[in-house]
Amino acid sequence: MDFLNVPLASGGIKGILSPMTAKQAYDQLAAQSRRLQAFSSAASLAWWDEETGMPPKGLSWRAQQVEVLVSHQHEQFASERTGEWIAACEAGGLEAGSFEEANVALWRRAYDQAVKLPTDLVAEEAATATRARSAWAAARKANDFAAFLPWLEKSVELRRRRAECLGYEEHPYDALLDMYERGMRTAEVRELFGRLRPGLVDLAGRAAERSTRIPEDLLAGEYTEEGQREFNRRVAEAIGFDFEGGRIDTSTHPFCSRIGPGDVRLTNRYRSDDFSDSLFGILHEAGHGLYEQGLPEEWFGLPAGKSVSLGVHESQSRLWENHVGRSLPFWEKWLPTAVECFPHLKDRTPADMVRALTRSRRGFIRVGSDEATYDLHILLRFELEVALVEGSLEARDVPGEWNKRFHELFGLEVPDHTRGCLQDIHWSMGAIGYFATYTLGNLNAAHLLEAARAGDAGLAAAMDRGEYAPLLAWMRERIHRHGNLVAPTELVARAAGSPMDEKAFLGRLERVYVDAD
């Protein structure tokens, strides 16, 4: 059935002559959901265009476009009619444990949240994010925190308002974290980082000491953007990314966006002195893209058809970026191709590549950091976000607090705002509550891969040969095909055969960044 062409009942249950059955109400919900997804997809496409090619003078109109799309979608979904359809489904008539019943439960959760949010708040959030992203990009380039400060203050204010509207039991940050990681609470993340922090700080020091034995110039040279694009495309295609249903473009900050079935877009950026920045960027975003391409297309527009959480989404990206891209089997297979694209690597061996790409150093930039230090970057951002939301930190004081805490964690003095608090796009987007999911993703990735290798000898042998189709098939079967039907912690536990913990992750860091060589 083409749900985009199913007529919507104009007056909900009260507007028809006879009571609506659960099946009829479900069909109306599904039709509305797919129609509203078209608005969401249009907003995603507008964002992609804004980041990849929109003329600067188009910003004002783009903000208005996105505001209209997002506010219309919100108004329609949060309407009384939607609530009546959900209630009709809940009244009985749908098979217990069915796909339809699961969708209704997800609609109920989303609806109960949507009706708490005024449309003018939702519209203001969308318009502010569009304008703030542009202001952030300019401020980052100019090292000008003062230029971005009004937008940061606005973003924090809007997120505080959202948290108050949604409500929370313990901490206002809970309401924002739940947007990205269903069911997760601030106290849980604090407790997790409390356990991880001492070990991560210690491990970062030992990894840095081990890395002093690895020459800094192993991969020194000039890397053309053309060569990087070619190499990255070949790698992304080889691990399974479908370019008939996707593409790669350039943006200030790499991202992945699913516009719709058969249209998953990745972006990347390039450095002439370091090809690994773009390689790991594309492995990371292609990992997101593989997840999006693995979601059931026939579910698109229904709540079950979405990814389950960003902690699971990040597990897919971090898995391909780190566990695959920094491995010896990967470079045994891909070094000859790398030499085709970058001839000056001809004297390097696969072992050289792995040593260079697992060299640890305390650096300023999160996206360019190694696994041994990455989660300290996340810890810093999480702590600052919580402080901003609860009001114990004002936006104007972020640079000073950032620099102080960075020195405590890394022992380095932050040289400028571009390499400090202006480096990430997230706060300009209003994506406060997001950062912790990167660490959850790292933990999930290690836990899932350990289970996959232990439970499937053929998969482990294929990975050791640099062949990754069995790994992708395992993820498709255990993670991707389930969409949003199962809560994130339960999905990972089912896939791996046990609840996620940090043992596999910390074991990998010790093995790769301390005990190697």
Q: Per residue in 20-35, pLDDT tens?
A: 999 999 999 999 999 9
Check residue 252 and give its pLDDT.
83
Q: Please tell me the total count of domains within the chain.
A: 2
User: Of 54, 83, 115, which marks where a domain is finished?
Assistant: 115
Task: Please check whether residue 308 lies inside any domain of the structure.
Answer: yes
CATH number (domain holding residue 260): 1.10.1370.30
Specify the pTM: 0.94
Task: Please check whether residue 162 lies inside any domain of the structure.
Answer: no
Contact 29, 108 (CB under 8 A): no
Q: What share of the chain is helix, strand, coil (3-state, %, to 5)?
A: 70, 5, 30
Residues 97, 228: one domain?
A: no
Residues 103, 223: one domain?
A: no
How remote is the C-alpha of 63 from its chain's centroid?
23
Choose among 443, 437, 428: nearest CA to 500: 443
Amino acid sitting at position 202: D
Task: Please check whether residue 123 lies inside any domain of the structure.
Answer: no
Residues 316, 212: one domain?
A: yes
| Class of residue 361 by CB neighbours under 10 A (exposed 0-12, middle 13-18, buried 19+) | middle
Cα–Cα distance measured from residue 489 to residue 482, given in angstroms and rounded to the nearest whole number: 13
Residues 370, 494: one domain?
A: yes
Residues 108, 203: one domain?
A: no
Q: Which residues of the chain have pLDDT under 50?
A: 1-4, 6, 10-17
Q: Which residues are catalytic?
A: 285
Contact 172, 163 (CB under 8 A): yes
Task: Please check whether residue 509 lies inside any domain of the structure.
Answer: yes
Task: Please check whether residue 160 lies inside any domain of the structure.
Answer: no
Cα–Cα distance measured from residue 358 to residue 48, given in angstroms and rounded to the nearest whole number: 32
User: Of 56, 80, 115, which marks where a domain is finished?
Assistant: 115
Residues 227, 376: one domain?
A: yes
Residues 383, 464: one domain?
A: yes
Number of H helices, E strands in the chain: 20, 3
Task: Please check whether residue 122 lies inside any domain of the structure.
Answer: no
Contact 331, 348 (CB under 8 A): no
Check residue 7 and give its pLDDT.
53
Check residue 50 and give its pLDDT.
92
Q: Per residue in 284-296, pLDDT tens?
A: 999 999 999 999 9
Check residue 8 and give its pLDDT.
61
User: Of 115, 148, 174, which marks where a domain is finished?
Assistant: 115
Contact 281, 367 (CB under 8 A): yes
Residues 199, 94: one domain?
A: no
Sheet holding 263-268, edge to edge: 246-250, 263-268, 256-260
Residues 203, 315: one domain?
A: yes
Contact 484, 304 (CB under 8 A): yes
Task: Please check whether residue 409 lies inside any domain of the structure.
Answer: yes
Domain that holds residue 56: 3-115
Choose among 440, 433, 456: nearest CA to 500: 440
Contact 124, 317 (CB under 8 A): no
Check residue 98 and give its pLDDT.
97
Check residue 74 and give its pLDDT.
97
Task: Please check whether residue 146 lies inside any domain of the structure.
Answer: no
Residues 214, 98: one domain?
A: no
Residues 385, 276: one domain?
A: yes
